[in-house]
Structure 1
Amino acid sequence: MSFRLERSSGAKCYMLSASALTIIWGDTPRYWKWVSLPDSRFPEVAKLVDVCWLEIRGRIQSKMLSPRTTYAAYLIFKLADRSRGLGHPPHETSVTVGAQSSTRAIRLQPRGADRHARMMVNFPGGAPEVEEEEVGGLAREDGWLEAEMGEFYNEDGEDGEVEMSWMEVKGGHWKKGLIVEGIEIRPKTLPI
């Protein structure tokens, strides 16, 4: 885990490394590799080899964060040259603390970017309810990409655990090429 203070507000920011996350089959070399990258702040990152069930989870205590602050959680990642299966169906993300829950649908690749993107998927009971859908990630100054997973308000820091998840488990097709540095929790900046 890494820690810093946001310059403008002094609010606490944390980055959970990939090794601090729960990655389903993350310890199975057939599905995930742990590699070193020179531009990562951590000794190892997780590189997706091939899975059909993608599930990444992280947790942090709300008392570690600044009180009376709106936070967002961001997946920090890269896509390998031959990545595939990361565009359809959209990945479901959620951030939950106490009674608050924020969900999103995110495509890390544009629809149609690979042959798997043309698969038709039926969600039991209809498509998941989400706040919004976005494609890809935003470029960061450190060379990585980020995708917002959801947001929450940290009232007094006494709400317990902040739970974050990134999943694609309904499509049933194979995905590869996602490189995960971690999940960053930082104050949500409002658009100007």
Structure 2
Amino acid sequence: MPKHRRSLLCKFEIEREVKSEVISPETTYAAYLVFKLPQDQSTFEAPIQVEDYNADYGSKEPFIYLVSPPHTPVIGPKLDENTYNPLNRYNGNALPQQRMDGWMEVKIWEFQTTTESVPMHLYFEHPCYKDLKGLMVHGIELRPI
């Protein structure tokens, strides 16, 4: 596969405008990526980098997980002592959750509304340039927080 073609498979972007007439003014919203992964999820274990081209309008996590990161035990002073502490786990908002409808979701963006429309332009890229083939994106869901 040519190098330029391979690099296109490791990234995608979402560019939309959140219309002021479909959201409540002066409200903080969270945007969730709704998706499904293929059977082989190994490509999706690394965090996906997210860049916000309209950073003035919202905030986002610098990366998201499409698969929950594994719990890494901490080896204690004695070789056979496992001192895993759940407080050392990643505690950001960018962890995926299973939905009741069978899809997964992960929070990707947060924004405050005014009386005007809000532009959303998010760029997602695998940090190791791995192929994201098989990722099914259903859409973006907005919810007040």
Q: TM-score with structure 1 length normalisation?
A: 0.51
State the secondary structure of the residue aligned to 2:135.
strand
Is 1:148 aligned to residue 139 of structure 2?
A: no
Q: Is the 8 A contact 1:77 1:181 kept in 2?
A: yes
Distance 1:139-1:170 versus aligned 2 partners, 3 A rule: closer
Equivalence map 1:128-167=2 (5 Å): 132=92, 134-135=94-95, 137-155=96-114, 157-158=115-116, 160-167=117-124
Larger Rg: 2
Q: Which has the higher contact order (CA 8 A, sep 6+)?
A: 2
Distance 1:95-1:57 versus aligned 2 partners, 3 A rule: same
Looking at structure 2, the residues matched to 109 and 150 of structure 1 have their Cα atoms a distance apart, in angstroms, of 18
Equivalence map 1:33-72=2 (5 Å): 52-64=9-21, 65-72=23-30
State the secondary structure of the residue aligned to 1:174.
coil
Q: Is the 8 A contact 2:94 2:108 kept in 1?
A: no
Equivalence map 1:1-192=2 (5 Å): 52-64=9-21, 65-92=23-50, 94=52, 96=54, 99-104=56-61, 105-110=63-68, 132=92, 134-135=94-95, 137-155=96-114, 157-158=115-116, 160-168=117-125, 170-188=127-145
Looking at structure 2, the residues matched to 69 and 95 of structure 1 have their Cα atoms a distance apart, in angstroms, of 21
More helix by share: 2
Q: TM-score with structure 2 length normalisation?
A: 0.65
Q: CA deviation at 1:60?
A: 2.2
Q: CA deviation at 1:53?
A: 2.5
RMSD across aligned positions (CA):
3.0
Aligned residue type for 1:68: E
For residues 44-65 of structure 1, the C-alpha deviation after alignment (integer angstroms, 9 at most, x for no partner) is xxxxxx9643112131234132
State the secondary structure of the residue aligned to 2:20.
helix
